[in-house]
Amino acid sequence: MATSATTAPLVAPGHGSGLLDVVRYRYLLKLLVRKEMRVRYRGSVMGLLWSYVKPGVQFAVFYFAMGEFLKLNQSVPNFAVYLFSGIVVINFYTEAFGNATRSVVGNAPLIKKIFLPRELFSVSSAWVAAIHFLPQLIVLLLACVVTGWRPGPVQILAGLLGFAVVAVLAVGLGLLFGAINVLYRDFENIVDLLLMIVTWTSPVLYDWQKVADAVGGPGSWFMTLYQLNPVTAAVELFHWAFWYPTGDVRAAAVPPPLPPHLLWSGLWGLLIALALLAAGQWVFRRIEGRFAQEL
């Protein structure tokens, strides 16, 4: 007896459901993530364990070289945790954004052979970055617990908000620059420059008060713009969630002040990231139909 098979209708590139297709084709997303992980650790004996060794060594270097030898613990209590809680945010953001920018060009052979939602490539790059973010977060949590970490529920939510801000921002900008990079490969280098700058334009190696003192105080217009940077807001939310509840900070004679309106800055950062995600999706879908031809 003959059986009838149903096939999904063909959809022209740029006329799908956009990021909703990522949920619909989540099985393909998992396959792409596995492929990227296998390529990343091909020929490696330790494999994913390097994701735990590297942040552990990185934190030890920060603790001894900057906290003890350079005496930065004297100006910022528990400076190693302060620095590392910002570094893990920057590491996740730079890996997710940078890899998403190259994801479409890097998967050119796949794009030219079969059709699948192209957004999968940018999202899979962010997913791989999140996998590498987890070991760094574990090292950070261990360091926080050793130094007397006692967070409140609001601070835990602040950490989750900070992660959401950088994740949405990285995917949105990854879609935007990943699509444009198909047409103009110079954008890979432009993104590399932007990522190099982002560490210095966010309070990772210094505290926010130094910026406020240099630009006329916390209420200045420049400081307001500085805090509206989604990456800056995410870094400060991580400081509040992981560094601020540690023992040395709580025991300080004069606790270091938090940036003004920190939660509001985080919510504004999330709104800006969502707006950039919508813009990135719009540009991506406008250019998507030319991917196979340009690649």
Q: What is the pLDDT of residue 270?
A: 95
Per-residue pLDDT tens digits for 25-72: 888 888 888 887 777 777 665 666 766 667 667 667 766 666 666 666
27-63 per-residue burial string, b: 16 or more CB within 10 A, e: under 16: eebeebbeebbeebeeeeeeeeeebeeebbebbeebb
281, containing H or E segment: helix 262-287
Are 111 and 168 contacting, i.e. CB atoms less than 8 angstroms apart?
no
Long-range contacts of 140-143 (CB under 8 A, 24+ apart): 140/55, 140/59, 140/81, 140/84, 140/85, 140/88, 140/242, 141/242, 143/59, 143/80, 143/81, 143/84
Tell me how crowded residue 85 is: count the other CB atoms within 10 A of its CB: 29
* Main-chain dihedrals φ then ψ at residue 291, nearest 5 degrees: -55, -55
Q: What is the pLDDT of residue 155?
A: 92
202-210 mean pLDDT: 83
Closest by Cα among 261, 214, 236, 193 to 82: 236
159, containing H or E segment: helix 153-183
Per-residue pLDDT tens digits for 248-275: 888 877 778 888 888 899 999 999 999 9
